[in-house]
Structure 1
Amino acid sequence: METLKGSRLLLVEDDVRIGSLLRSELQAKGLAVTWAQNLAEARATTHDQFDLVMIDLGLPDGDGTELVREWRNAQAEIVIVILTARGEEIDVLVGLDAGADDYLVKPVRLAELTARVQAHLRRSSAALGRGDSFLRVGELGLDLAARRVNLGSKELKLRSREYDLLVRLADDCGEAVRRETLMDDVWDVNWFGSTKTLDVHIAALRRVLAEAAQQTRVVAPTITALRGFGYRLDP
C-alpha cells in the first residue's frame, strides 16, 4: 500500500463504530484521515486539500449526495467514493451521476475497500505525473501536462475520471476499445464493482461534448457504443 502514504482522505461517516474502524485501518496504511460525522462538519473542510473523499449517503443532517455534488463542483480533480448501505441500482446511478468516481455498498470487506482506495490514488498520482504532451482529435485538444481539454476555444469542465476516460479513448482514436480494457486502464485491473460506472461516465462525457459543440458551433468528436464490445472515439 505504498501509494497511500502521505495522501489525505476525508471520511464522512456518522456511524461511530464504522468510522473508527475505517479511520484506524486507513491510518495504519499511512493515510492521513480527517473524519467528519455529518454534513456540517464535512462542509467545514471544503477549503482543505484532500486526495480522496469517502462519503456515506445516510447522514443525520441530510443526504450525502448533496455533498458529492458540492465537492465535485469545488474540486474537479478530487476522487470521490460513496460508501453506503443503499444498494439499489437507481441509488448507484444517482450517486455516480452526482459526481462520484466509485460506489461501495456496506458491508464491505476492509481488504476490498483499501484496494479500491489504493487503485484510485494510484490512478490520480499517475495522471498527475504524465509527461508534457498534447493530443488532438479534430477540434478537440487535450493538454496532458495541464489536464485541460478544449473544444475549439472553449475549455471543458471534466471530472477526474471523465478526463482520464476521454484521454484513454483519444489515445486510440478511431479504434474500438473493449469495456474491460477501459475499466482496467481508467479505473484499475483489480476493479471489484459494477461496470455501470463506465456507462455513467460515458454518458456524462457525451453531454459535455454536445453542450460545448452547441455553444461553440464546432463539431465535437463522438463516442460510439459498440454493442457487446465497448466504445470508440470518432473524430
Structure 2
Amino acid sequence: MNKKILYVEDDSTLAFLTADNLEQTYDVCHFTNGKEAFDAFTKDDFDLCVLDVMLPEMDGFELAAAIRERDVEVPIIFLSAKTLKEDRIKGLRLGADDYLVKPYSMEELVLKIEVFLQRSQKNGSQKTSVYTLGDYTFDAVNYTIERNGSSTQLTEREAALLQLFIENKNTILKREKILTSIWGTDDYFMGRSMDVFISRLRKIFKNDERINIENIPRVGFKLVAPD
C-alpha cells in the first residue's frame, strides 16, 4: 500500500506539477487551504505532510501547530517562498522536519520525503527503548521524557537527536556526524536547524545541573551526564 501524503498548496499550477510527480509513488490528498486540510487530517491517517506557508483561512504555520497538537510523530515538510531565516526557524520551532524554499527541486523533495518515511517506519518498528539520564526517563519510541512525575512530549526529530546523544554520552560528537545521522545532510541551513533543536533539549534539562549539552567550538557537541 502506498504511503499517504497530505499536500497543501493554493497555487494551482505548482500544485498540479508537484502532485502529478508525487502521485507516481504516493497517495496524495491535495487541499488548497489550511482549514480543509486540517479537517481532513483529523479524519484520516497520513504518513507525511507537505505544507505551503501562505495559505487561506489557516496558514501553514497555524496548520503545522494544529497538526503537532494531535500528532507529534508525522513528518512535516514546509514549502515556501518565504526566505527569511526567521521564517525557517519559526517553522522548525513548530516541529517541522524540513523547510524547502521555492522554487524547489522535485528530486530533492522526493528524496527528503523518502528519508523521513523510512525513518518513521524504522522508528515504528523499534522495540521499546527506555533510557535513564540523571533523574530523567526517556522513552525513545513514544518520544517522551519524564522527571518527578512530569512528562514532556518531544517531536520525532528531538527524540532522535536526544537518543543519539545518550548513546554517545560523555563523548564528543562532531557536527557532521550529528547532521548526517539525523538530517541526512551537513549543509549550513541544517546546521542552523540542529542548533535550534539542541537549544530546545537544553531547556528540558535546565533544572538538573549535572546534565548539559556542551558546545565544543569548531568541533561539535558533548552530552555531559552522570553514568
Deviating more after overlay: 223-232 vs 127-136 = 127-136
Query: In the alignment, is the contact (CA less than 8 A) between 1:139 and 1:220 conserved in 2?
Result: no
- From 165, 174, 180, the equivalent of 1:178 is 174
Which residue, out of 106, 127, 131, partners 2:102? 106
Task: Look up the match of 1:18.
Answer: 14
**Does residue 218 of structure 2 align to residue 228 of structure 1?**
yes
Deviation of 1:133 (Å): 3.4
> Which of 5, 11, 14 is the equivalent residue of 1:9?
5
Q: Using the alignment, how far apart are the partners of 2:222 and 2:120 within structure 1?
A: 23
Residue 201 of structure 1 is matched in structure 2 by 197
**Structure 2 length-normalised TM:** 0.90
Residue identity opposite 2:3 in structure 1: S
Q: Is the 8 A contact 1:184 1:191 kept in 2?
A: no
TM-score by length of 1: 0.87
Distance 1:138 1:95, change over 3 A: same
Q: CA deviation at 1:147?
A: 4.1
Tell me, yes or no, if structure 1 residue 46 matches structure 2 residue 41: yes
Equivalence for 2:73? 77
User: Which 5+ residue runs of structure 2 have no aligned equivalent?
Assistant: none
Is 1:36 the equivalent of 2:31? yes
Partners of 1:38 and 1:112 in 2: CA distance: 24
* Distance in 2 between residues matched to 1:136 and 1:38, nearest whole Å: 43
Contact between 1:123 and 1:186, CA under 8 Å: does it hold in 2?
no
- For residues 133 and 159 of structure 1, the distance between their equivalents in structure 2, rounded to whole angstroms, comes to 16
> What amino acid is the match of 2:221?
Y
Higher normalized contact order (CA 8 Å, seq sep 6+, divided by chain length): 1
Instruction: After TM superposition, give the deviation of residue 171 of structure 1 in Å.
Output: 0.6
- Structure 1 runs, 4 residues or longer, greater than 6 Å off: none
State whether residues 179 and 186 of structure 2, in contact with CA within 8 Å, keep that contact through their aligned partners in structure 1. Answer: no
Percent identical residues: 28
The one-letter amino acid paired with 1:49 is D
Alignment length (residue pairs): 224
Q: Deviations over 1:116-171 (max 9, x none)?
A: 11111111111222234332222222234444332343222111101111111111
CA–CA separation in structure 2 for the residues paired with 1:190 and 1:89: 17
Q: State the partner residue of 2:118.
A: 122
Shift of 1:219: 5.8
Contact 1:150 1:156 in 2 (8 A): yes
Distance in 2 between residues matched to 1:94 and 1:7, nearest whole Å: 27
In the aligned structure 2, how far is the partner of 1:138 from the partner of 1:104?
A: 37
Q: In structure 1, what is the equivalent of residue 56 of structure 2?
A: 60
> Helix, strand or coil for the counterpart of 2:23?
helix
Per the alignment, in what secondary structure is the counterpart of residue 46 of structure 2?
coil
Check conservation: 1:131, 1:144, Cα contact below 8 A.
no
Cα distance between partner residues in 1 of 2:106 and 2:149: 46
Unpaired runs of at least 5, structure 1: none
